[in-house]
Amino acid sequence: MDYIYIDNSNLYIEGRRVSAVKQGNAKNIYDAMNNDILDSTYTMSFGKLHEFLTGNDLSKIKRAALFGSRPPPNDSIWRHAKSAGFELHLEDRNFANKEKKIDTAIATFMTKDAYKQGDPDEDLFVLVAGDRDYVPTLTELAADGYKVEVVFWNHAAAELKKAAHKFTSLDDHLEHLRV
């Protein structure tokens, strides 16, 4: 069985940076990051992302969870994600309109799933995020025999890539995942 956990904002924002580089709006990913250059036209298809991650073999998926901030009431983004097959975990933004609690929620769900129902000999845990906040979780899961794959853009934190059993880059799939 596979368990999939996605940090939606991290995936979306960094995908817009990768697209900005591919469109020639930034010299490289670090230029895009340092100068906050984004391709505002890039939107990812939740259906295509779900298919990419699951291979449409839903019999092997125990959980495909998408984590992010609660949108305004008239925003349909999460309805599309849910209809694509994702379990939704939404958190309210803080008073400064900053996203909070997403990384810890993902780490908590991964850990809880692994130790309550996971099997290190059979289950694969897939993290779709790129920052090194997840390294302690991956390190502990790996120490206990769990396999954790990281799927993200090439510029994911080197420490995170190293902690993963396997790293899969989304860069070559940028256009395939576009709406």
pLDDT range class, residue 78, cuts 50, 70, 90? low
Q: Is the pTM for the entire model greater than 0.85?
A: yes
Q: What are phi and psi of 160, to 5 degrees?
A: -70, -45
Q: What is the pLDDT of residues 122-147, one digit of tens each?
A: 999 999 999 999 999 999 999 999 99
What is the set of domains in the chain, with CATH numbers?
Answer: 2-9+44-177 (3.40.50.1010)
Q: What is the pLDDT of residues 105-120, one digit of tens each?
A: 999 999 999 999 999 9
- One-letter amino acid at 124 equals L
User: For residues 38 and 17, is the Cβ–Cβ distance under 8 A?
Assistant: yes
Neighbour order of strands in the sheet with 124-128: 87-91, 61-69, 2-7, 124-128, 147-152, 166-169
Query: Rounded mean pLDDT of 155-163?
Result: 97
